[in-house]
Structure 1
């Protein structure tokens, strides 16, 4: 497969019953469904995505349930044909139907085209994450045609609203329909499974086994109204900026999370790097754009993103507010929240916009073993490493269910990537696209996981 990324689709499809037979077509058709999520302004296309997937699963006799929360649609299905070992717990494969918005004028090809060009499938969602949905569905449909059952029951869920932090998707389903997760002990989805290539040509596949938690909050200050031409020691804008300055100046300590430590140790050994904890992103630059994500995972991060105050330039307002995106290391949310409030001071009011817990799972068990074997089957000699994700996934909504039951969640959207392919920047970026060769190998890996997990 040395020329994997220059081969055409016809070269990469072995016949109608191979796992990858439909992956490009399904991915393209999903991209053509406009499922942009505009947050508080609403979303579109999630129900249409559910209807399309329902047709694909109806073809092979799989029953589907669609749950709706405030008009947002989440699809749940179970694939357990004859020959499935029903004594084993179910494996959940999940993804989300929504995408972030786009400005079409910025793109080389229209973001809803799903067009194949330069041996890539182009469009919003190609990577995040209609490509993975297409891999799973193509592999399941091919196994059905071959009459091959999975090793254990497969639960498939396509969530709404992941790009809005999952409030009306995975979080809502976990809270209101925990039965959708009955029997599930392990789950596989984003963000991970993509390859990095060492200077010696060896590939390393990074698999998420932990992710930071999320606290989006609004902090507000009040003061006395007045004329902008006169001194006002009780200015709400100044109070807010002072609080933000104290928070921004705070040095968050390195918490040495075990997943982060293992990743850094392994990467240093494989690449021959010296890790500078005070300049982590720079010292990790040889591994490529992933260095930005990894560098954000030693400590909490607190990022102001929205400011609001006043209505006229010569009027001192009575209230000023800021919205903050805070991400915390698993197990340390109370420490982060109390520190932020202490730094802000007693005059600042806090309002939670969204809170999502961190997720963390041991890098052992049937799903992890299957991931290792599946990657080795398609890319012999590759290394599989766990890592801590600085962002978030739908796992936050159900990793711990209301009854306290835990599900071990992993990020493995398997993609063998070209050496110079800037995968990370295409997440939510312009000209999002995925190589056909990556989809093909990824679907084969998913097929192995269905067989072996």
Structure 2
């Protein structure tokens, strides 16, 4: 770890836990509605800035909108020819309203070895861990191989326009030299075979888009049915999309997953049979299945105001997730599914990201995991959601998702995202601190 001082290592682990708890206690809920968002993101960024300053690490706070602050710091590496590594964590969290929590969502309470709170895994745990590692580097004189650009970001949960997106558009100088990025969603352990653990590494992310379907027809009185009913026409289109199962696509990330996880799980996996094989994967199946294919999910319906009035227009919105290289194919598939007489209007489209699943950075992740879990393996996969990596990809930065967490075999880390009673084992945070320190030192 670069030092034999057990007290320093203990302090690193302690600070990772305590900084995570302090950040959870800062209510930085991002509702996505400007009028209802407070200054929690800036307060969290200033907390990080103060802790970095205590260690002599300068950082710049940017605040494109009052209360929506992000913080950027740079730690110089020993190899001037190596591209910088961008390490980013978002400071905003999703709302807790309407959920039933058994522990206060912003209390950061520890019960039976578990830390509870909004952001415990998504993703104030990584923000607190990276902060602790940066301070540990400063105290121990540890110098990373590469420049590290540490970014603590606002607004990821609502798309990143005031966080990562703003940085890319207005302050790319703060990210200069970065060639790769490390952030969510991956690094957590899942069961392998014979007691071994696999640690997922997101090397690709689905693109994300929205589409509005509109059907128009003849308005009239509900007592006089018509064949030209916009609601019926739209319902048929939505049902067709909802029932459709897009084909499996053999992405580079899928090939790497099959090569790595099949042997580790002790289950033969192929792209052709993976739909059936995922039944043997337990809770991880819910993460892998949507990574195999494009998806278009109906989420919003709107039509009419009164029961006895046939409306002239009916609308539906779909959440669309697209695999790398599948943009044109997906648009054509949706057009064919909804049929004629339906207007299609595409919203903002973020393309998929695709980083090399065999890049040298993966070897660094493997070595760091092996140091803590000798039988553990790192398994590339495709994240069926998206992160701030989609913004940084516009600068040519290859994004990876890896927040190292060794957890009990039955614990579904991804299932904690946005859930009530979001929680993480305290010991997992200590593991994360040790492993992250190795990664950021050696990357």
- TM-score band, normalised by the shorter chain? over 0.9
> Shift of residue 320 of structure 1?
1.3
Residues 309-340 of structure 1 deviation map (CA, whole Å, 9 limit, x = unaligned)? 11111111122111111101111111101221
Corresponding residue SS for 1:46: helix
Corresponding residue SS for 1:62: coil
Structure 2 CA distance for partners of 1:351 and 1:48, relative to 1, 3 Å: farther
Whether 1:154 and 2:148 are equivalent positions in the alignment is: yes
Query: How many angstroms apart in 2 are the aligned matches of 1:383 and 1:358?
Result: 26
**Correspondence list, 1:397-416, <5 A:** 397-401=391-395, 406-416=396-406
Deviates more, 1:206-215 or 1:50-59: 50-59
* RMSD (CA atoms): 2.2
Deviates more, 1:439-448 or 1:147-156: 147-156
> Shift of residue 354 of structure 1?
3.1
Aligned to 1:35: 28
Structure 2 CA distance for partners of 1:178 and 1:222, relative to 1, 3 Å: farther
Deviates more, 1:306-315 or 1:70-79: 70-79
**Correspondence list, 1:166-245, <5 A:** 166-245=160-239
Query: How many angstroms apart in 1 are the aligned matches of 2:264 and 2:49?
Result: 44
Structure 2 CA distance for partners of 1:287 and 1:249, relative to 1, 3 Å: closer
Aligned to 1:291: 285
2:132 to 138, 146, 155: 138
Structure 2 CA distance for partners of 1:353 and 1:36, relative to 1, 3 Å: farther
Aligned to 2:55: 60
Whether 1:21 and 2:11 are equivalent positions in the alignment is: no
Corresponding residue SS for 2:328: helix
Residues 75-111 of structure 1 deviation map (CA, whole Å, 9 limit, x = unaligned)? 2423325x74334321110011111111376111011
> Shift of residue 199 of structure 1?
4.0
Structure 2 CA distance for partners of 1:228 and 1:321, relative to 1, 3 Å: same
Query: How many angstroms apart in 2 are the aligned matches of 1:387 and 1:139?
Result: 26
Aligned to 1:106: 100
1:445 to 429, 435, 438: 435
Corresponding residue SS for 2:68: strand
What is the number of equivalent residue pairs in this alignment? 436
Residues 144-191 of structure 1 deviation map (CA, whole Å, 9 limit, x = unaligned)? 111222222110112222111223322232233332321000110000
**Correspondence list, 1:340-351, <5 A:** 340-351=334-345
Corresponding residue SS for 1:268: helix
The 8 Å contact of residues 72 and 168 in structure 1, kept in 2 or not, is answered as: no
The 8 Å contact of residues 14 and 21 in structure 1, kept in 2 or not, is answered as: no
> TM-score normalized by structure 2?
0.92
Corresponding residue SS for 1:77: strand
Query: How many angstroms apart in 1 are the aligned matches of 2:375 and 2:421?
Result: 32
**Correspondence list, 1:254-269, <5 A:** 254-269=248-263
Structure 2 CA distance for partners of 1:377 and 1:109, relative to 1, 3 Å: same
Aligned to 1:394: 388
> TM-score normalized by structure 1?
0.90
> Shift of residue 258 of structure 1?
2.3
Structure 1 unaligned blocks of 5 or more: 1-12
Deviates more, 1:365-374 or 1:121-130: 365-374
Aligned to 1:425: 415
Query: How many angstroms apart in 2 are the aligned matches of 1:111 and 1:285?
Result: 33
Corresponding residue SS for 1:19: helix
Query: How many angstroms apart in 2 are the aligned matches of 1:142 and 1:15?
Result: 11
Aligned to 1:86: 80
Structure 2 unaligned blocks of 5 or more: none
Aligned to 1:128: 122
Query: How many angstroms apart in 2 are the aligned matches of 1:137 and 1:70?
Result: 24
The 8 Å contact of residues 21 and 142 in structure 1, kept in 2 or not, is answered as: no
The 8 Å contact of residues 185 and 401 in structure 2, kept in 1 or not, is answered as: yes
> Shift of residue 126 of structure 1?
0.2
The 8 Å contact of residues 204 and 383 in structure 1, kept in 2 or not, is answered as: yes
The 8 Å contact of residues 125 and 131 in structure 1, kept in 2 or not, is answered as: yes
Query: How many angstroms apart in 1 are the aligned matches of 2:410 and 2:172?
Result: 42
Aligned to 1:9: none
Corresponding residue SS for 1:188: strand
